[in-house]
Homo-oligomer: A and B are copies of this chain.
Amino acid sequence: MPVFLTTTDDAFETQFKALLGAKREDSPDVDHIVAGIIADVRDRGDAAVIELTSKFDRLDLTPETMSFSPEDVDRIIADVPEAEREALQLAADRIRAYHERQLPQDESWTDASGATLGWRWTPVSAAGLYVPGGLASYPSSVLMNAIPAKVAGVPRLAITVPTPGGVVNPLVLLAARISGVDEIYRIGGAQAVAALAYGTGTIAPVDKITGPGNAFVAAAKRRVFGKVGIDMIAGPSEILVIADGDNDPDWIALDLMSQAEHDESAQSLLITTDAAFGRAVAEAVEKRLETLDRRAIAGASWRDYGAVITVRDLDEAAALSNRIAPEHLELCVADPDALCDKITHAGAIFLGKWTPEAIGDYVGGPNHVLPTARSARFSSGLSVMDFVKRTTLSKMTLQSLKAIGPAAEVLAQSESLEAHGLSVTARLKSLNE
């Protein structure tokens, strides 16, 4: 059973803090092993990648077979059923349409001093996307990472996906094809991250690496950060549902379970204004846990980290939600827009009872790579912005330098940076000659 809390209890604040502070992830410390793998790939390139893939994935590659050729992909995706093909295409189209609106604008203007100022956005030249193999090999994640990169205009997008024993999920390759991915490598683990960051004889280095992975992949991403850009290191998934009593308990139970089934460390929370409804949802969860395929995982997550919190009113619900800063937030209340206005920290909000969070995982349009572990307080989900960077632009005329240069001279002097000041002085002096 999950915990049941009520804000009117004296012990509530203590209980809520314990819930907020619960450590859900206990990553093994693999940093030492990963450091060795990265050094090996830097030193020996393809040879190291091939050896490590043979060892960890029981797959013997050569530089020639390291990537899937277009013909490989054609052959493997040929058998994907039409329904899945259409669903993936619909998802891709909607994700693309949403992300195209995120493309930032260049700006340029001339100010009163005559200075022309502005900025310009450009895509990274090459990005690498890590795709997990095995159970967590989700084609939807390929779309969610690859499409923003391509919308941003990244000219070269490479995927690495481990294929233990040579087995690959055809839908992953189809998602890559639909997204316009340029290169697909049959490698994984820290060796794949190292190959993307530093390059090998076969794989050219990239500038940015995104995508989820296990502890080895996460440690490798942390280590190559600085040499290349990385996206966030995602923790276990979370959902918070705020619901009034006017909902179907089974729907809310399924929404909670759709996070819980991801991972035993996932967290599903319900905040409700109606204590009886909260109990009804918990009962509906128990019922669903009798039959769900992933009931062992979902049940463990719900038992260890689940919670049902009864609040006095929706203002209190919003205040608690803002302290939680959830990755996913469902607002199943009569006026979800009004409640939404009170939310300051959340990765993604799903408004109203017709918007189960699962829609956002696949076909809604917004990205499903979102900040976890309360990091929505200071960070955003994956977007086109992760694949572009801004260059600021300044152009002075001699008039504008005359107008604002003297202030720069004063400040340079106050900071004891003489050459800074002189670089302005020399130019201003030429005007008086």
B397/A354 in contact, CB under 8 A: yes
Indicate whether A73 reaches chain B with its CB closer than 8 angstroms: no
| Residue among A349, A367, A415 facing the most chain B CB atoms (10 A cut-off) | A415
Give the size range of A's interface with the partner.
35 or more
B254/A407 in contact, CB under 8 A: no
The one of B83, B233, B359 in contact with A404, judged by C-beta atoms closer than 8 angstroms, is B359
In the complex, A282 Cα to B424 Cα: how many Å?
19
Indicate whether A343 reaches chain B with its CB closer than 8 angstroms: yes
Which among A2-10, A58-66, A86-94, A183-191 touches the partner chain? A86-94
B378/A208 in contact, CB under 8 A: yes
The one of B86, B258, B383, B392 in contact with A366, judged by C-beta atoms closer than 8 angstroms, is B392
Indicate whether A122 reaches chain B with its CB closer than 8 angstroms: yes
Residues of the B chain whose Cβ atoms lie less than 8 Å from the Cβ of A214? none
Nearest CB to that of A98 among chain B residues? B117
Give 1 or 0 for each of A214-243: 1 = CB within 8 Å of chain B CB. Answer: 000000000000101100010000000000
Residues of the B chain whose Cβ atoms lie less than 8 Å from the Cβ of A233? 226
Identical copies in the complex: 2
Indicate whether A348 reaches chain B with its CB closer than 8 angstroms: yes
Which residues of chain A in 362-400 are interfacial with respect to chain B, using CB atoms and an 8 Å cutoff? Answer: 362-367, 370-371, 373, 375-381, 383, 385, 389-398, 400
Indicate whether A412 reaches chain B with its CB closer than 8 angstroms: yes
Residues of the B chain whose Cβ atoms lie less than 8 Å from the Cβ of A311? none
Indicate whether A11 reaches chain B with its CB closer than 8 angstroms: no
The one of B391, B404, B420 in contact with A261, judged by C-beta atoms closer than 8 angstroms, is B420
A408/B362 in contact, CB under 8 A: yes
Indicate whether A357 reaches chain B with its CB closer than 8 angstroms: yes
Which residues of chain A in 129-159 are interfacial with respect to chain B, using CB atoms and an 8 Å cutoff? Answer: 135, 138-140
Indicate whether A50 reaches chain B with its CB closer than 8 angstroms: no
In the complex, A261 Cα to B422 Cα: how many Å?
12
Given known pairs A349-B394, A362-B407, A408-B358, the reply for A419 and B97 (CB within 8 Å) is no
Which residues of chain A in 37-73 are interfacial with respect to chain B, using CB atoms and an 8 Å cutoff? Answer: none
Q: A residues touching B (Cβ–Cβ < 8 Å)?
A: 83-84, 86-88, 90-91, 94, 97-98, 101, 107, 109, 111, 115-117, 119, 122, 124-125, 135, 138-140, 171, 207-208, 226, 228-229, 233, 248, 250-251, 254-255, 257-258, 260-262, 288, 292-294, 298, 336-337, 340, 343-367, 370-371, 373, 375-381, 383, 385, 389-398, 400-401, 404-408, 410-412, 414-424, 426-427, 430
